[in-house]
Structure 1
Amino acid sequence: MKLGSIHFYPVKSTAGHAAAEAEVQPWGLAGDRRYLITGESGKILTAREEPRLLACVARLDGDTLTLTGPHAEPLRVTPSATRSTVDVWGTPVELTDCGDDAARWLSALAGRPARLVWLDDPTRRPVDPAYGRPGDRVSLADGYPLLLTSAASLARLDDWIAETALELGEEVPEPLPMTRFRPNVVIEGVDTPFAEDEWKRVRIGDVDFRVTKGCDRCTLTTIDLATYTKGKEPLRTLARHRKWDRKVWFGINLIPDAPGRIAQGDSVAIL
């Protein structure tokens, strides 16, 4: 098995980037989800509610973040000194505001009030203690430092989606791109689809990871990244084949044992 691709997302719920290599930090890949968007109430605003956020491309050059979108000129972001506490999926986290220019830029894209905030100190947010150790930390990802998926599992899911369409008399859709699932690492060469369900520890290159739990999927996976509209798949088909505990599942969450570097093509071993 090998590492097929690496992906990171500078701003949560916006477009991601593929990378040839990445630094693995205790809280996730370097540059991954250190920023998020809040709405008028100060709560997290994601592409689940506003799919147009996926049209935002956020690029990092060192510590400088630049936002690019179809609605306005690119904007270079400068965080302010103002901090506020944001509820990040049940955990209060102190985040730094990124100023009124970023707020206006994102509000125009989303069509509703929005602000950009930054996790300047990534040690602030602990991992769910039910699945992590006391010192484990995570940036602004949904729950864990990295998300792993496999090409074999997506191929099987695409086959299932085609079968579902045929059974219902629908046109068979094009295979889903892996980007729908927003992974950090995609593994190639896995012999059995969904073999990752049983993995406990994984080594990618020279970096060891603990598997915490599977990843339950939400409506974000149903957004067509070309049109920013929602459909029924893959949740409809996952519910037929991959549903338990009242959730549907695709991918696994990882916590690194120690910092390191990974690169596309690295060998992958199950420990």
Structure 2
Amino acid sequence: MLHLSGLYRYPLKSGAAEPLQGTQLDSLGVQGDRRWMVVDAQSGRFITQRLLSTMNRITARWQNAEQLLLSAPGMPDLPVAVPQGDGDLRGVHIWRDSLRVPDAGDAAAQWLSQFLQRDCRLVYVAPERARQIDPVYAEIGQKVAFPDGFPLLLIGQASLEDLSRRVGRDLEMLRFRPNLVVQGSEPYGEDSWKRIAIGGIEFKVAKGCSRCIMTTLDPVTGERSADREPLTTLKTYRQIEGDVFFGQNLIALSSGQLELGMPVEVLE
């Protein structure tokens, strides 16, 4: 039987993953997921592990709905309050989207700049300032916070196991940064799904997730694999028109609660 075997959120875009036993889904996906982002202080351009692999050493954890706690090796823990109101908006750029979102203040900027050795700022997005999902795949009004393009990413456990076999070593699921992991399907079974339901919540399977150099980073150390795996192997059998696909992007069609172990139903 298909069931939900993994559940993750990433409060800070490109920061360390947070494993969950259960979570609420809201209008932007997993509650609290990628609501914070590091940007270049001058350009406002988003910064991820693609540029600075040390970002994976930053742990960001919600302490409550109004405060985040930042931790990193060699740094003091720093509580960061959710910015209130629109008093200090910063123009930021993430892929093709440009938006104005609240800046988290100088203390957070100094902390991140010191750890990352780059002049940067921390920004936050609330639902009312979130981005429209690509209307090719979504209805107008369906929004996303700071993920690359979609609110949720699903990967089948069997797909990872098949990829590990092809590469010749066990690969960590967190190389691929999913929100949802499903067990019980055939390898790449998720490729054929169009609609699924978990715990009474219906999801649209929007499109495959194209993968990048971040998959070659060790999710714990941030070190790049010398053989560029698993991207090298994925290119041999998962490449379509120049893009390499692994996992499926989802859009939740309602809110609700998710828990590990919940059955997953393929509706279409």
Which residue pairs with 1:32 in the alignment? Answer: 33
Greater CA drift, 134-143 or 152-161 = 134-143
Matched ranges for 1:1-271 at <5 A:
1-40=2-41, 41-62=43-64, 63-79=66-82, 81-122=87-128, 124-162=130-168, 174-190=169-185, 192-231=186-225, 232-271=228-267
What amino acid is the match of 1:144? F
1:70 alignment partner, SS class: coil
Q: Percent identity?
A: 37
Q: How far does the alpha carbon of each residue in 1:185-241 deviate from its partner, in whole angstroms, 9 at most, with x for none?
A: 000111x20011110001111110001100000111111123311120111000011
The corresponding residue for 1:166 is none
Aligned to 1:165: none
Offset, 1:154: 0.2
Q: How far is the alpha carbon of 1:122 from its aligned partner?
A: 4.7
1:214 is paired with a residue whose SS is: strand
CA distance in 2, matches of 1:79, 1:264: 28
Distance of aligned partners of 1:123 and 1:103 in 2 relative to their CA distance in 1, 3 Å threshold? closer
Give the 3 Å change call, closer, same or farther, for CA 120–221 of structure 1 in structure 2. same
Structure 2 residue matching 1:102: 3-state secondary structure: helix
**Residue 234 of structure 2: SS of its match in structure 1?**
helix
- The change in CA–CA distance for 1:260 and 1:79 in structure 2 (over 3 A counts) is closer
What displacement does 1:12 show? Answer: 0.2
Q: Which amino acid letter does the alignment assign opposite residue 61 of structure 1?
A: Q
CA shift for structure 1 position 26: 2.0
Q: Which runs of 5+ in 1 are unaligned?
A: 163-173
Distance, in Å, in 1 between the alignment partners of 2:213 and 2:231 is 7
Q: Which runs of 5+ in 2 are unaligned?
A: none
Q: Which amino acid aligns with 1:49?
A: L
> What SS does structure 1 have at the residue aligned with 2:181?
strand
Structure 2 counterpart of 1:245, one-letter code: E
Q: Tell me the amino acid that sits aligned with residue 82 of structure 1.
A: D
Once the two structures are overlaid, the 10-residue window that deviates more, 34-43 or 222-231, is 222-231
TM-score by structure 2 length? 0.94
Q: Is the Cα contact below 8 Å between 1:123 and 1:138 reproduced in 2?
A: no
Partner of 1:167: none
